Amino acid sequence: MSQLSINIFLFLAGLGLLILSSDWLIQSSVKLSFMYRLSPLFIGAVLIAFGTSAPEAGVSIMASIRDQNDIALGNIIGSNIANIGLIVGLCAMLRPFRVSKSMFKRELPLMLLAVLLLFLLSLDKFISRIDGIMFLVLFLFFCIFAYKGARKEFDHNEMSDFTLSKVLKKINSPAAAFFIILLCLIGVIFAADVMVRSGSAIAEIFGVKPWIIGLTIFALGTSLPELVTSLNAVFKKAPTISIGNIVGSNIFNILFVLGIAALIRPIAISPSLLKFELPLLLIFSFALFTVMLTGFTIKRWEGLLLFVGYLFFLALLFTS
């Protein structure tokens, strides 16, 4: 078996483990939320977002540890663009959904703030450890702020159709749910390490720049949990969880994942990221805010615009 075949097999195996671990991480997080009576928006924007962003966290943190910061940053930016253009776009095209007005009080403004802060701090072409600490402090404030309103907005009915596995349905102990979450996190980190190693090897074989691999293969691969979860939530008529998952994941990716990655190893910003990908992330983020603000509903044609915008982004990426 050739070196290329081995690395492709390892990459796909790592991706499969990522998806499996993330799925159980999501379910165990939802189970825990039932026990503590937390709102669907908090479940989507914090707990499920944490679970679905675990692959991005694993890939970017492992890439930073291995001094492959192009992959670390490219994965975060690419995933956030994919979350808005690909996932929100597809969900709205399949079934238009309403948006909770409470998102405009906390989650959406913080998502825009995080993107703006990332862009401004990148202007010197360097994300320092101090910048990383700033991101992490903001993330901590977000979690505290979101939790305070979570119990007030609890609505069990919106989560009644969410399907849990038979094993999790039988669990009534928070300690057992926490233990499953811990096991899933270990699975995510291990799988992410396999993906980083094999993905970098594939890039070297084909002579592809690592940041392009981060923006495409890693970004799309690690966004699959968000895609599956959001589509599942939309079809089960739990739109708050769906859009909360996307907005929360984008906040988590920048403030927590990038914060940890920069703390491990300061990140040098590629000029191409500053000129092309980061401005596009700003455009997609403000486009999502605008679309959600118009009638608090994401319509099919608006979803189509976001999806076409994402395809345009991919076309520009590979032709530039």
* Model confidence at 211: pLDDT above 70: no
* CA 63 – CA 265 distance, rounded (Å): 10
CA contacts within 13 A on the Cβ side of 134? 11
Strand partners, 211: none
The predicted-structure confidence for 215-274, as pLDDT tens digits, reads as follows 667 776 767 777 777 776 777 666 677 788 788 889 999 999 999 989 988 988 888 788
pLDDT given for residue 157 in this prediction: 58
Q: What is the mean pLDDT of residues 162-179?
A: 79
Sign of CA dihedral 300, 301, 302, 304: positive
**Burial state string for 81-108 with b = 16 or more CB within 10 A and e = fewer than 16:** bbbbbbbbbbbbbeebbebbebbeebbb
* Model confidence at 320: pLDDT above 80: no
* Model confidence at 281: pLDDT above 70: yes
pLDDT given for residue 137 in this prediction: 95
* Model confidence at 45: pLDDT above 70: yes
pLDDT given for residue 10 in this prediction: 92
CA-wise closest residue to 224 among 57, 52, 91: 52
pLDDT given for residue 14 in this prediction: 87
More confident residue, 60 or 213: 60
pTM score: 0.79
From the CB of residue 209, how many other CB atoms can be counted at a distance below 10 Å? Answer: 13
The predicted-structure confidence for 117-132, as pLDDT tens digits, reads as follows 999 999 988 899 999 9
Give the pairing type, strands 297-298 and 267-268. Answer: unpaired
* CA 192 – CA 149 distance, rounded (Å): 33
Q: What is the per-residue DSSP string for 216-239?
A: IIIHHHHTHHHHHHHHHHHHTT-H
* Model confidence at 160: pLDDT above 70: no
* Model confidence at 138: pLDDT above 70: yes
* Model confidence at 134: pLDDT above 90: yes
* Model confidence at 103: pLDDT above 80: no
The predicted-structure confidence for 16-29, as pLDDT tens digits, reads as follows 888 888 778 777 87
Per-domain residue ranges for the chain? 3-319
* Model confidence at 183: pLDDT above 70: yes
Question: What HEC string does 93-123 produce?
Answer: HHCCEECCHHHHCCHHHHHHHHHHHHHHHCC
The predicted-structure confidence for 290-315, as pLDDT tens digits, reads as follows 888 877 788 899 999 999 999 998 88
Class of CATH domain 3-319: mainly alpha
* CA 23 – CA 36 distance, rounded (Å): 20
* Spacing of C-alpha 275 from chain mean position: 23
pLDDT given for residue 309 in this prediction: 93
